[in-house]
Amino acid sequence: MELTKVIFKKNSLLTGIVSCVFLTSCMPDKPSGEWAISNNGDEVIITAGILERRFRVAEKTTVTTSVSVNGNNIITENPAEFSVTFWKASPDAEPQGMDYSDKAGVEQEDAVKNQTDALNVDKKDTPAGQSVEWVDSLRITGKQTKTTFDSVSYSISSPEKRTKRLTILLTASGKTEWNGISAEINYEIYNGDPAIRKWIKFSNNGPHWIKIDQLTIDDLAINETHSFQTPLCPSTIDINPGIIAFSNSATSAGIILASEVPSKLRALSGTGASGYNPDFFEWVIGPGESFESEPVFMYAFSGESYPTVSSISTALDRCVENGFQSFLNKHILRPVGDNKSIAPVFCTWTNYASEINDSNMRTATDIATQIGFRCFQLDAGWSDTGPNGGWAVSTTNPISERFPDLKNLSSYIQSKDMKTGLWYSVFINEQQADKSGKESPLFSLPLIRRAGGLGLSLCYEKSRKKYADEIVYLHKTYQSDYFKQDLSNVCYGDIARGHESRTLKESYLRGLRGLLATQDEIHRQAPDVWLQLSHEIYWETPGPKADIAVLKHADSYHAAPNEYWGAGHRKQLVNETWKYNVDSLQQKLIQGAYRARDLMYRHRGLPLDRIEVFGAVTTNFNGSLTPEIQDRQICSWLMGAPLSFSGDLTSLTEENVERYRSRFVMLENLQQKYGIYSCFQFSGVPSPTDEKWHWWGKLNTEGCGAVVIIRGSAGDAMQKVNIPWVNADEKYKLTALFSGKELGVFSGKQLQDGELMIELPVFGQELIEITND
């Protein structure tokens, strides 16, 4: 609800500056600061604690003149502010989609490359072009708008308590050839956080069809002094990271730039410009229509960077693990309630593959409950895929020959104190799909084929409803509370007649928005369900890493790649035909644990307890899975939460089962007492390695919880371990849980100074409980 709204023209005056507090370097000390939007003549100033952005709004233009952190400007001169290209339709009409053709646009086939799942994709010839062409393009930037827009105004409002918004409106009247086009640029601040969020809405109130592309929402460039980059989410070869910090060389001051644009549609450049990937974004805006972009935002940090006994504690790192994470959880991401806890999770995919049935799943359930898993997820292979359908196709009906009574199996799983999880895909059976042409098809066009299935369109309301309704049906019918959603469709596009996308390129963002909208609808109907999206459904396989956009809608994200280090033949249960070298499998299991830590650490800008890294392999071949390797898995996945264990449970020895059980009991106890899963501290200590030592914290705001310590293949046997995240004036009792040793009572200052000494063997690990004395 809008509380206040004041329209300002040039030379108007805004009063009522709000005083607030600011989290220096995002740490607990909070000196006073201002959160206000003010003006001085044609200059508008946004102040968010130590972050300030100044604009000149005059002469039919708007441009940022400075962005400063603690008074120091961090951008180059004369930025573009935003940039976009307008196009006119010729003829002046809505582009039309294609009618049904049985000619496939894409044929997919399963593959494995470099120890991970992949696809062999055969893309057919592009379908015949649409009748509308796009002509008379015009490139527009915030500082060059006079030929397009002939009016500029701005307003300041408080849409929610402790939130302020600046809206700058650029409009084109009949005096220009783009009559009726407007651009509404929004900036929002949140009391207590040094953040400015920005998005743009383009509206077409004129009579003509237009298209926009090459949209950069915040077209700024970071100056050389603050050009040192630290990615806080991983990139892939062709997908930009979703969060990047820009700072001085000491990483003591700068800004974190973050994008809420999903998946491969995102562009976040090494210079600081943020918007859409021009290769995959465009949007048609017809008369009376509008397009509103996803937001991007900047978050400031400033403080001292200083050496510790083991590393460097930077202002950036302390900001990420404190204020930045708090801001995400408070204002941006979808909240996840404690009642939806699912960890630890067992997934059936590794070694079982799609060859699951009632019998082997009951056997696995019995072992999983002994171990202490809290969610048992049936992966692909349970669903009746219809005539000539392969495992990739999903329906709400179980395969009767394999699962004669899925309700009973689900009840059995729940009787063992585990939640039931089900896998589901966006592929429907091709032979059962309606191709009559009487109404728009539920599937995408050109056809996307895989294993006897067709990709379900997410650019069509009826398709989205079908998908959401089926997940809700499965939840209600089988009491399934966890869903893994999978397989690639959106990345191949959809221009079926009657669907919402008017061009193939427009369908990429419409499809991703449609996918995320299904998550919101499922959550609305079934709020207790945990929804996981895989990297494959979010684009392709191996697909994108996690980003902000997906966690605004889903509960967790299954990050790329899928890996099976140490699983042997990943599509078979252990059997007499296996001839693997045990030492090699052990090395791979250790490597898999390191790769999990490394991948989670590279996601440290996001809440790690919502990132699923697949997977900790629970397969033992002739002693390959030793208790020490199990401990390494437990520790490695505890950088976030134990969300993804998978493998042949029947291969485990009694010792294996007991080791997992005892460790999961420890984790559950720590989680119940301290809420460790949602905590992660990494500042001032070594980053992940499998050579020497490194450690991290899982401590709550009182400095209590756990510290995880890992030694690699080298390093000294004894190591000083500093714990910077405790309160210096408090007393703490430390217990080594794995070895069962009482380590004594320390002051917070002693722990910060590294007076704790730990001894571990090569490839050893320890879990330390820290509690108030």
Kindly report, residue by residue over 465-503, the tens digit of the pLDDT.
999 999 999 999 999 999 999 999 999 999 999 999 999
Q: Give the start-to-end residue ranges of the domains of the chain.
A: 5-89+138-327, 350-431+438-479+494-530, 693-772
Instruction: Give the 3-state secondary structure of residue 194.
Output: strand
Q: If you average pLDDT over residues 525-551, what whole number do you get?
A: 97
Q: What is the pLDDT of residues 403-432, one digit of tens each?
A: 999 999 999 999 999 999 999 999 999 999
Q: What is the DSSP letter of 438?
A: S
Distant-in-sequence, close-in-space partners of 34: CB < 8 Å, separation ≥ 6: 17, 18, 19, 20, 47, 49
Q: Kindly report the CATH class assigned to 5-89+138-327.
A: mainly beta
Q: What is the pLDDT of residues 228-263, one digit of tens each?
A: 999 999 999 899 999 999 999 999 999 999 999 999
Select the more confidently predicted residue: 29 or 599.
599
- pTM, full prediction: 0.94
Q: What is the pLDDT of residue 392?
A: 93
Pick from 532, 738, 535: nearest CA to 638: 738
Would the CATH topology of 350-431+438-479+494-530 be identical to that of 693-772? no
Main-chain dihedrals φ then ψ at residue 589, nearest 5 degrees:
-60, -40
Secondary structure of 700-723 in HEC code, one letter for each residue: CCCCCEEEEEEECCCCCCEEEECC
How far is the C-alpha of 61 from the C-alpha of 117, rounded, in Å?
50
Q: Are 523 and 531 in contact (CB under 8 A)?
A: yes
Q: Are 582 and 623 in contact (CB under 8 A)?
A: yes
Q: What is the pLDDT of residues 679-715, one digit of tens each?
A: 999 999 999 999 999 999 999 999 999 999 999 999 9
Select the more confidently predicted residue: 17 or 368.
368
Tokens of 114: 């470099």
Q: Are 697 and 739 in contact (CB under 8 A)?
A: no
Tokens of 17: 């500056």
How far is the C-alpha of 252 from the C-alpha of 171, rounded, in Å?
41
Instruction: Give the 3-state secondary structure of residue 14.
Output: coil
CATH 2.120.10.30, applies to 350-431+438-479+494-530: no
Q: Which bin fits 386, alpha (ψ -120 to 50), beta or left (φ > 0)?
A: left
Q: What is the pLDDT of residue 447?
A: 95
Rg from Cα positions in the chain: 27
Res. 115 pLDDT band, cuts 50 70 90:
low
Distant-in-sequence, close-in-space partners of 362: CB < 8 Å, separation ≥ 6: 409, 412
Residues 175, 181, 183, 184: what is their CA dihedral angle, to the nearest 10 degrees? Answer: 100
What is the homologous superfamily of the domain 693-772 according to CATH? Answer: Golgi alpha-mannosidase II (2.60.40.1180)
Q: What is the pLDDT of residues 553-564, one digit of tens each?
A: 999 999 999 999
Which of 150-164, 212-226, 299-313, 743-757 comes out lowest in average pLDDT?
Answer: 150-164
